[in-house]
Amino acid sequence: MEMSRCSIESSGRLGCITCHDPHVQLRGAAAASYFRRKCLTCHTVQSCSLSSTRRQATSPPDSCIQCHMPKKSVANIGHSALTDHRILRIASQSPPQVPATPESQEDLIYRPRSGQQSAAPPDLRTQALAFYEVSQVYPAFRQRGFALLEQAARELPDDPEVQEAYGLVLLVAHPQSPAEAAQVLQKAIDSGSPSAEIRTRLAKIQLREGNVAAARQLYDEAIEADPHYTAAYLGLAYLYEVTGDPESSIETLERILKYDAGNEEAGTALAEAKESPR
């Protein structure tokens, strides 16, 4: 977006919330109409060189973003597309050149706007969580991100988000030695994490270690936190299966199919559970 002529000529005043309402998610014709009104706060209908007939031929009709902010496929994320926020006058043209700045891995995540180069860098928590998010898609950030997250986990022991992220990374980094990850995930919960995923991950570790009562409690907490978190139901069903309670396992799998009738994993597991001798 900062490469766009709109941003450059607004002296950087154009930002995300100039056009996006974080509380509203619009689609189709409603989105086209909404964003067209946003465009027309700075531009005029006469600014467009296309005829009214051509503009009405877009789908949805008269959509500014259809021409100037088209969707582009994302090569490294399946079935995904991103909106081209360069806001090009002609979609195939090159954007205006912006002044080159030295870049490092940190700059890809945090880059002050022009005129703010002397601003304070982001705090450790912000940077660690940003690297964690980006490294899920771009492996090049993992080494630096792990170091930052490890440091943040030491310095912010009561921050649930930091402990969540660190615990999940430890599960991937040391899958054969889950004790440290379990300790960190429990710390996240004790610090106030409401996450159903964290409880489910920790429940799996507890069950593997033979702590059935602790695992069952964690699965129950996960389901209470998010009644549609399928992984928690599947884990709980498995717990019942391996502890000799097939009826409870079947009942748990049926609970999934009540809100997600087409869930193949639950359907297959249910069929196998019903066929097994009791």
Separation of alpha carbons 155 and 12, rounded Å: 35
Of residues 83 and 116, the one with the higher pLDDT is: 83
Say how many C-beta atoms besides its own lie within 10 A of residue 135's C-beta. 18
- pLDDT on residue 96: 55
- pLDDT on residue 234: 97
Asked if residue 56 has pLDDT above 90, the reply is: no
pLDDT band for 120, please (50, 70, 90 cuts): low
Task: Measure Cα distances from 174 to 80, 170, 171, 181, 211 in Å.
Answer: 30, 6, 6, 8, 20
- pLDDT on residue 232: 97
For 142-172, write each residue's pLDDT tens digit: 888 999 999 999 999 999 999 999 999 999 9
Nearest alpha-carbon partner for 66 in 97, 39, 95, 94: 39
For 189-234, write each residue's pLDDT tens digit: 999 999 999 999 999 999 999 999 999 999 999 999 999 999 999 9
Separation of alpha carbons 232 and 245, rounded Å: 17
Instruction: Please state the pTM of the whole predicted model.
Output: 0.64
Asked if residue 241 has pLDDT above 80, the reply is: yes
Spatial contact of 249 and 278, defined as CB atoms under 8 Å apart: no
Residue at token pair 């399928």: 230
Q: Give the whole-number percent of the chain exceeding pLDDT 90.
A: 46
> With respect to CATH, is domain 194-278 assigned 1.25.40.10?
yes
- pLDDT on residue 210: 95
First-last CA distance in the chain: 61
Averaged pLDDT of the chain: 86
